[in-house]
């Protein structure tokens, strides 16, 4: 099964439900970053959460999630676009913690104390930013807490990543449900009951079930309409030109120092580990650019 996301809306249009499978892209991220089992689960949950949140935005908009905790993983950074692409990395990929209740302990790795920062680029002059304390460090609960605290939108978020003993990611996915005003108590009670009955997300996908089946369970007993399906991918936004811009932005002093001390520059993208090499000549050209006054 390739990765994709499905969205549905209740017939009264006040409940939106999203479900997605992300196994392939989480496995890709695991290979890129060489993450430990728990770090893979943490990064996978955060990337899946980012994609679900991104799907609630409008075309061309995107968001970034920054989880900073007091655990050995230190942080998780994720950027997701409304078009179904995501990239991410963790602070310490090799960080590992003992199991908790015979399961990977994501909150133990990230830490249960810290902050979740959500930055939304909505195409306006200034990006929108919301910050909340981590609720548990389990990622899904933290995202739901962000919505209720920062945006006053009641939400339920379920995220799961199954990592095999050899480190391979064999199942990943999640769901997000939001109720919009006017909220009907009966509908909310039914949703809560439905969410309670759903097995762990990873069990669901390991059984070979689809995101459509997950949505059907979420909306069980209520009429809903499937709105569409979006393929999902791990995709980085970096490139030679972007890295050049970052080097130019360092300024003349830093660039001159780099040329004098190292005579070259090696830049590695944190999101996808792609390496960019700059020779002395190339750096000297960038130095000329840095010396130019900014274009009006």
> Applying CB under 5 A, which residues contact Zn ion?
236, 238, 269, 271-272, 274
For Zn ion, the closer of residues 104 and 236 by Cβ is 236
The partner residues of 129 in beta bridges, in order of sequence, read 119
ω into residue 182 within 30 of 0, thus cis?
Answer: yes
**Closest distance of CB 32 from Zn ion, Å:** 9
Q: In 73-222, at which residue ranges do the beta strands (DSSP E only) sit?
A: 75-81, 85-90, 114-121, 128-133, 155-163, 169-179
Place of tokens 């970096």: 238
CB of residue 235 to Zn ion, shortest distance in Å: 9
In this complex, which beta carbon is closest to Zn ion, that of residue 25 or of residue 171?
25
Q: Where are the alpha helices (DSSP H) in the chain?
A: 23-33, 37-54, 106-110, 140-150, 185-197, 201-206, 211-218, 240-250, 252-261, 280-291
CB contact at 8 A, 269 and 236: yes
Name the residue nearer to Zn ion (CB basis): 129 or 240: 240
Q: At its nearest, how many Å lie between Zn ion and the CB of residue 2?
A: 22
Q: How far is the CB of 249 from Zn ion (least distance, A)?
A: 17
Q: Which is nearer to Zn ion, 209 or 235 (CB)?
A: 235
Residue 90: which residues within 8 A CB-CB, separation 6 or more? Answer: 33, 35, 39, 42, 43, 73, 74, 75, 76, 77
Nearer to Zn ion, 7 or 87 (CB): 87
CA distances from 60 to 11, 80, 120, 200 (A): 27, 11, 11, 32
Residue nearer to Zn ion on the CB measure, 19 or 46 = 46
Instruction: Pick the closer one to Zn ion by CB: 68 or 79.
Output: 79
Q: Do 47 and 38 form a contact (C-beta atoms < 8 A)?
A: no
Shortest distance in whole angstroms from residue 49 CB to Zn ion: 20
Q: How far is the CB of 28 from Zn ion (least distance, A)?
A: 13
Pair of tokens at residue 114: 């810290």
Closest distance to Zn ion from the beta carbon of 271 (Å): 4
* Contact criterion met (CB below 8 Å) for 29 and 256: no
């Amino acid at each position: 099964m390739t990765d994709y996301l499905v969205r549905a809306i209740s017939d009264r249009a006040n409940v939106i439900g999203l479900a997605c499978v992300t196994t392939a892209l989480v496995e890709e991220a695991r290979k890129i970053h060489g993450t430990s089992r728990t770090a893979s689960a943490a990064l996978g949950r955060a990337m899946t959460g980012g994609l679900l949140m991104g799907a609630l935005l409008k075309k061309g908009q995107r968001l970034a999630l920054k989880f900073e905790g007091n655990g050995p993983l230190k942080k998780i950074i994720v950027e997701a676009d409304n078009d179904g692409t995501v990239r991410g990395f963790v602070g310490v990929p090799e960080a590992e913690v003992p199991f908790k209740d015979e399961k990977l302990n994501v909150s133990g790795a990230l830490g249960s104390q810290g902050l979740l920062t959500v930055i939304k680029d909505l195409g306006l002059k200034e990006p929108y930013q919301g910050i909340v304390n981590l609720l548990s460090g389990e990622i899904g609960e933290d995202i739901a807490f962000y919505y209720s605290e920062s945006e006053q939108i009641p939400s339920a978020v379920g995220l799961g990543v199954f990592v095999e003993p050899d480190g391979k990611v064999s199942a990943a996915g999640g769901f997000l449900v939001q109720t919009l005003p006017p909220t009907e108590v009966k509908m909310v009670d039914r949703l809560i009951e439905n969410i309670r009955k759903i097995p762990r997300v990873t069990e669901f996908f390991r059984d070979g079930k689809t995101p459509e089946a997950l949505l059907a369970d979420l909306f069980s007993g209520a009429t809903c309409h499937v709105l569409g399906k979006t393929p999902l991918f791990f995709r980085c936004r970096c490139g030679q030109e972007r890295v050049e811009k970052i080097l130019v932005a360092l300024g003349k002093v830093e660039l001159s120092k780099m040329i004098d001390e190292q005579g070259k520059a090696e830049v590695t993208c944190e999101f996808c580990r792609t390496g960019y090499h700059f020779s002395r000549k190339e750096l000297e050209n960038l130095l000329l650019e840095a010396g130019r006054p900014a274009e009006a």
